[in-house]
Amino acid sequence: MKRFILKSFADLRFAILLLLLIASFSIIGTIIEQDQILEYYQTNYPVEMSIFGFINWKFIIQFGFDHIYKTIWFIGLLIIFGCSLLSCTFLQQLPSLKIAQRCQFFRTTNQFKKLKIKNRLSNKLLPPFLYDLLKQNYSIFHQRKIIYAYKGIIGRIAPIIVHISMILILLGAVLGAVGGFNAQEAIAKSEIFSIQNTLSRGSFAKISNVSARANDFWITYNKETTINQFYSNLSFLDQSGNEILNKTISVNHPAKYKNITYYQTDWNILGLRIQIDNKIIQCPLLSPFTNKEKVWISWVPLDNTFTNGVTVLINNLQGYISLYNEKGEFLSNLELNDTLLINSHPCTLVDIISSTGLQIKTDPGIITIYAGFGFLMVSTLISYTTYSQIWILKKKNNIFIGGNTNRAKFEFEIEFQKLINENK
């Protein structure tokens, strides 16, 4: 029974079926947004507009299509597929490698009829021919009047390495699904934060109690005033609040601390600090526009009556704000630490309070996945090694010679005929 089950798992058709199922569910996972809040699915997949009459937010939530890659059934498919690869490796690939290492002698001339590449030599020319085979790195086995030679046995290992690489990739995917997490944090400058806003989390994921401080956030601009890069300076702290590590991150250049990776993803402007008549006030900013361009607006009172004030607009972090009067007329731009007299009130821009958006995640299976792809690249290089075989049978004064190869048949035929011609 065990052998029957193993043979069923090692069946190529069963493996292809599993691979198609995994690929199909992976495609669904790219179509349906993953790890979103419930309201998102209720808004985008309402029951009244069910796709195909049954695909709505209830169907998505019930069967886990909102987090496909972390569901038990998807992980189960990966495990079964890995077992199928292991079974194929032990029941087919390893025995095939052992057979390739054996001496496979041809004892009759009829066996040569099955070969497409064959020829004859005289008895006197056999020793030079064998010497040429040795120079071509062939391993030669001799038993009375029969000879067997092969080279490129390492090429037969490539399928085994492919299976090992795929198993490592599957294992890494499972480890990442059950042991990883993904969080999103928005932190104002100079604030200390820890990981709290978790978007997705594996069943066995452990969130470290890591404290960090967002020291600063800034943006560099091109000559055309378009954004070039975002930067955040982070300090990782110990339990006493002392700095252990300082890192500056940017888009595509994350920081890593205690196996947790911090990515720069977004930014925001929270407020302004403005000094008016020797009094510093802090004004919050709002972003009421839904278009892609970020614009923040606020109203700054110039006196205690709150009837006299100016409207503030800001759309970048280049160090200035734009001021407008009550009629919407443009007054002036006010730069950091500069003073402007507005309605007899001196106004100084003290600070622009910005925040940085960080994506914080860990994936314990990423190293295993990288190792799997490394083995896959090695197997690709090894697979280019041709496994070639040559059989020789001595019968009376005739020498029957035949050969076969698993790939590059044309090159092997040229090599074979060259060996024959050199010894005629």
Residue-wise pLDDT for 246-300, tens only, equals: 999 999 999 999 889 999 998 888 889 999 888 888 888 887 666 667 889 988 8
Residues sharing a CB contact under 8 Å with residue 420, sequence separation 6 or more, in sequence order: 119, 121, 129, 401
Residue-wise pLDDT for 300-316, tens only, equals: 888 877 778 889 999 88
The domain ranges of the chain are 2-96, 103-152+386-422, 184-342
Of the pLDDT bands very low, low, confident and very high (cuts 50, 70, 90), residue 375 is very high
Nearest to 315 by CA among 332, 294, 331: 294
pTM above 0.95, yes or no: no
pLDDT of residue 25: 92
CATH level 3 topology of 103-152+386-422: TATA-Binding Protein (3.30.310)
